[in-house]
Chain A
Amino acid sequence: MASSADRGIQATDSQEAAILFSSVWLGFEEGPILRGLSFSVQRGETLILLGETGTGKTLALKLAAGLLSPDSGEVRALGQGLSSKSEDELLEFRRQVGFVFQEGALFDSLTVGENVAYRLHEDGVPADQIEPRVQEVLRFVELEHTIDQLPSELSGGMRRRVSIARALITHPPIVLYDSPTAGLDPITSQTIITLILRLRDVYGVTSLLATHRLQDGFGLANFRFDPKTRSVLRDSPAEKSSESATRFLVLRDGKIYFEGSPEELLQSQDPYLRRFLI
């Protein structure tokens, strides 16, 4: 199956790309999981990592956040090579990246407000400045009323939304989403996707979203959030801007199986890809 990985990463990518993977290999005791992964995500772009369970989507996200180091190859984000950084340097780097974990990964002994304010407390932001910023992001995810609740008192969808609020409290230029709609009902999933749309179209963040649900990707590709009318509108191909482009990257057995636009994916007659479209 032809993919743009075969075409190679353009030289300009290394200067402009928000995230760049070059021939990344990563494996564990059971063998290699990622086998020479190469792709880039441009600033403001949304890349949907699509694949079955166990194809290495989460590993790719953790590599992009510097939570894992590749066995070989290079990972660059925001113009910085992550492979050569020490853990202390990576801690500094991660402050510029938001990470939404699959199950939310909220600190269960802290309230919603304390979870969202976590990074601000770490940065030593004065208490009187923390409260309004927490209120602002919780209002963004429409969970202002849960500020004093514990994560265990929230539903699965609400926990994901709090996780998104926690990730965006410092307005990071890159947000990584690990299966944000996994295990949620269609209506709640739609709420989460709308939130990601708003985050992209209001703050212009670069997004890397791992999922096994094709509808999540098409939701992001075909709709946009209009900040003026505060409504979600269907995007016509003519109106799509290059900055907020959405691309698909299908992983299979740790390699890129397909890379292209939503239209290319829809038109593909490849039997494996058709399985996602059914």
Chain B
Amino acid sequence: MPNTSLNAVEQQANPPQPPSVVEILTDAAKESVLKVQEYSLMAAQSITNLFTPPRYGQDTLTQMDDIGVGSMPIVLLSGFFIGAVMVLQTGSQFQRFGQVSLTGDIVSLALVRELGPTITGLLVAGRCASGIASELGSMLVTEQVDAMRALGTDPSRKLVSPRVVATLIMLPLLTTFSCFIGLVGGMVASVFSLRLSATTFWQRAIAILQFSDLMQGFTKSVVFAFILSTVGCYQGLNVRGGTQGVGRATTQAVVVSSVLIIVADTFLTKLALFLADKL
């Protein structure tokens, strides 16, 4: 439209109104609800995809290798030193009461119920949720996801489900290794720092564990796996703004999945304690 003096007068008479605070808050709330809805649909679809073909077994194996085997070194290394540092911290307190032998109990319970799944979940979130988000985000901005759809492939089946399934399988295994190596680290610290025998440490560590403790750790690792893989996929497949957007999605994937893991841990712990009392 030509910028005539008449138009200028009209524009002056009806200047665009800035949105009110209520409108801004309403829009932000709607956007948040929409994101939660999109995330929930994607997460649910990643599981329902498994009940109908096509299924991508080879892609799942590749992801299991990348997520599981690839994360093994950092999980084992961290697990060992977390076990050791727990013994150093708790052992000095138990020494005051002459109950050094309880060190095995506390390290075992803390690792299996809490630290094993949570620390492993956070480590794998840092390594894999970011990796998933950046890989899928890069595919999205280079139109590879569109190319996949144009070639008749459902990206949800090809990209999301294999990553979710691979994480669901590998994170509990990684958690198991982490707990075991944590106990090894605790034992080494007990032997050299507290002069506790290795046999006593292991006997106490194993005897204190009940089935409910193992189930608590296992359940947490499964839930954390679902959270970190689906958040990574969601952030990656919703990148906006080219390569800069990929960077933002990567950061968001780690932040959101880490926070959700810690929040979910609180509720799962409460639920597990409630069920342990009831059953």
Residues of A within 8 A of B (CB): 62, 65, 67, 87-88, 91-92, 94-95, 97, 99, 101-103, 105-108, 118-119, 122, 166
Contacts and interface: CB of A to CB of B under 8 A. Distances in A.
B144 interface: yes
Interface string B122-158: 0000000000000000000011101111111110000
Contacts of B150: 65, 67, 94, 97, 99, 101
A101 B151 contact: no
Nearest to A169: B151
The residue among A62, A92, A105, A122 with the most chain B CB atoms within 10 A of its own CB is: A105
B173 to A, nearest CB: 25
Contacts of B144: 105-108
B152 A67 contact: no
Given A88-B154, A91-B152, A91-B153, A107 B147 contact: yes
A97 B147 CA distance: 12
Nearest to B62: A109
B242 interface: no
A78 to B, nearest CB: 14
Contact of A105 (B54, B146, B152, B153): B146
B152 A119 contact: yes
A65 B153 CA distance: 13
A267 to B, nearest CB: 30
Instruction: Give the bracket for the number of chain B residues in contact with chain A.
Output: 10 to 19
23 contacts: A62-B146, A87-B154, A91-B149, A91-B153, A92-B152, A94-B150, A94-B151, A94-B152, A95-B152, A101-B143, A101-B146, A101-B150, A103-B142, A103-B143, A105-B144, A105-B147, A107-B148, A108-B142, A108-B144, A119-B151, A119-B152, A122-B54, A122-B151
Nearest to B52: A88
B154 A105 contact: no
Contacts of B151: 94-95, 99, 118-119, 122, 166
A122 B147 contact: no
Contacts of B146: 62, 67, 101, 105
A9 B123 CA distance: 60
A119 B147 CA distance: 11
Contacts of A103: 142-143
The residue among B143, B149, B152, B154 with the most chain A CB atoms within 10 A of its own CB is: B152
Contacts of B143: 101-103, 105
Contact of B152 (A62, A107, A122, A166): A122
Interface in B72-87: none
B147 to A, nearest CB: 4
Nearest to B145: A105
